A = this chain, B = another copy of it.
Amino acid sequence: MINATIITIGDEILIGQIVDTNSASISRHLNKAGITVTEKLSIGDSAEQITSSLKQALERTNIVIITGGLGPTKDDITKHTLARFFSSQMREDEAVARHVKSMLEARGIVYNELNHSQAMVPEKCQVLFNHHGTAPGMWFEDERGHVAISLPGVPFEMEHLMEDEVMPRLKARFTLRANIHRTMITSGLPESMLAERIAQWEDALPKGLKLAYLPSPNIVRLRLSAYDRDDADSTRKEIEAQFDKLYHIIPEHIVGFEDASVQALVHDLLTQHHLTLATAESCTGGTIASRFTAMSGSSQYFLCGVVSYSNEAKRDVLGVNYDDIMSYGAVSETVVRQMAEGARRISGADYAISTSGIAGPTGGSKEKPVGTVWMAVATPTRTISMMRNSGTDRSQIINRASAYAIEMLYNELKNDIK
């Protein structure tokens, strides 16, 4: 089995100033190619810590991928630490120097001493050319044939280097076997009940297949993983067969496969059936619209979203009856239904989805505490509505209410289409 360690460098990670998303992306690339990540490590901008972590990681795993600490400024120390680790002098790389100059010129920036330092690389590394930034990637090998790869921490640059340089080289350098992960998405059964329902199936799983439960609000993902296989195709078929059996145990709770979000399932249904969508959001503030429009191809069905935060916007843009807002409150079944119907009417969409709730931390009352969210779906034939308490924390309420409302739409769509 070819395995790997990921090391992310930066005090900003250790003090919690940023969330490390790079390592998840690197993990996906490696796993897809059959390389098993056994450990991820985040350490500070310290030469000693980088050296000792790298030493241990190269002893334990074939591949070590390091991100961060490659900028032009003094707090970035990864490059010089790596040069010392591999007992290497520095040299100027002309291609990198030319590239840095032309990138800076395009942005009207004067090339200075610090930029010059970005073109300096350790003699013993292969340069991984970074078309999208000024800091190059670097590839080192030790006497065991283990590989250490250093990449810039800017997510977009890292991503391109992984795709264009790192993965092709790793595939050429190592004989890789297959890691297969497949995920089935269940809905409507809490984790413990689901586990009970499928216990017999779980107990009968072949030894090489590892099952994982990934619970989130209203959804539990079940993942089957097989590591270090000779034959990817037969492994995939083996997993399919197990999922087939599972499907027959809980058919009504299977909503999709892989990491498709519920909005992706809606996206597929709307696209396939040439149906259109509009949104009218109050407390979710554009989150539902942004989840759909984040998906490529959404312009085929997404017509219009309204974030009607003020009462006047509810009235003037969506046509909600102002007296109803005054009588029942903006957070009410009457208003949320009129919002969905208004969004359908003004956009001409087939379906519309709406939310109105109290995201907090202020604005709650005894009758309508923070977390109270009304949601509605207007369809070509009817409007349905429901209230769900969506939590206690503002971002949690916004995210959960968005998820609940999209799920409500999904259930309606499924019923209408079949």
Contact = CB atoms under 8 A, between A and B. Distances in A.
Contacts of A306: 304-307, 317
A51 interface: no
A297 B21 CA distance: 29
A181 to B, nearest CB: 6
Interface string A57-76: 00000000000000111111
A168 to B, nearest CB: 19
A24 B31 contact: no
Given A16-B37, A305-B305, A316-B347, 14 more contacts: A10-B212, A13-B24, A17-B183, A20-B20, A23-B42, A41-B41, A75-B212, A109-B192, A286-B288, A286-B290, A303-B309, A304-B307, A306-B317, A313-B347
Interface SS of A by simple majority: mixed
Interface string A268-303: 000000000001010111111110111011110011
A24 B19 contact: yes
Number of copies: 2
A233 B29 CA distance: 46
Interface string A214-236: 11000000010100000000000
B38 A44 contact: yes
B28 A24 contact: no
Contact of A11 (B26, B42, B196, B210): B210
A293 B289 CA distance: 13
Give the interface centre of A181, A196, A285 by most chain B CB atoms within 10 Å: A285
Give the interface centre of A39, A109, A290, A299 by most chain B CB atoms within 10 Å: A290
Give the interface centre of A74, A109, A211, A305 by most chain B CB atoms within 10 Å: A305
A396 B156 contact: yes
A215 B348 CA distance: 44
A107 to B, nearest CB: 7
Contact of A360 (B159, B214, B290, B296): B296
A308 interface: yes
Give the interface centre of A40, A292, A398 by most chain B CB atoms within 10 Å: A40
Contacts of A307: 279, 286, 289, 293, 302, 304-307
Given A24-B13, A42-B39, A393-B156, A308 B313 contact: no
Interface string A88-112: 0000000000000000100101101
Given A41-B39, A304-B308, A15 B193 contact: no
A296 B41 CA distance: 34
B11 A40 contact: no
A340 to B, nearest CB: 15
Contacts of A28: 15-16
Interface string A189-206: 011110110000010000
A250 interface: no
Contacts of A312: 303-304, 347-348
Nearest to A114: B192
A369 interface: no
A213 interface: yes
A31 B40 CA distance: 21
Given A14-B27, A27-B14, A191-B73, A296 B394 contact: yes
A37 B359 CA distance: 33
Given A11-B225, A293-B285, A309 B304 contact: yes
Contact of A294 (B26, B285, B305): B285
Contacts of A297: 362
A107 B218 CA distance: 12
16 contacts: A14-B27, A14-B38, A15-B27, A16-B25, A17-B183, A20-B23, A38-B44, A38-B49, A40-B41, A45-B212, A73-B195, A73-B213, A285-B302, A286-B307, A303-B310, A312-B348
A346 B316 contact: yes
A171 B399 CA distance: 32
B303 A313 contact: yes
